Amino acid sequence: MIQSKGIIPRISFKGVFVFMSITILGLLLLPTLFMTIGITKTASFFIACTISSSIGSMLVLTKIDGKPTERIYFRKRMALSMIVGLLSSALIIFVFGGDIFGY
């Protein structure tokens, strides 16, 4: 078995499935909640995607694919998860959603 040597562990297919499932569930459930409290549609999708992808990547990097011997990387992986969640949600909502390019 190959051990990871750094902040990012080897990501399994199970980890990818869990990440995508959490992101999709978050995008299905959270935007309606945010829109009911008065947040615009684009902002509510951005916030929902940020929250769900951050939680998904935190879970994958620390619990599913992270080994107990790699606890020294825990804080770095949490920060990396927040950055990945923010950047992936901006990419999904603003670039692929057509808000930047206008189509």
6 assigned to some structural domain: no
pTM of the model: 0.75
Total domain count, the chain = 1
21 assigned to some structural domain: no
96 assigned to some structural domain: yes
Separation CA 100–CA 78 (nearest Å): 29
32 assigned to some structural domain: no
pLDDT value for 17? 94
Q: Which domain holds residue 87?
A: 39-103
Cα 35 to Cα 42, 51, 58: the distances in Å are 10, 15, 26
Residues 6 or more apart in contact with residue 16 via CB below 8 angstroms: 60
75 assigned to some structural domain: yes
34 assigned to some structural domain: no
Q: What are the 10-residue block averages of pLDDT along the chain, 103 residues in total?
A: 63 90 93 93 88 88 77 82 84 72 49
What number of CA atoms fall less than 13 Å from residue 98's CA on the CB side?
2
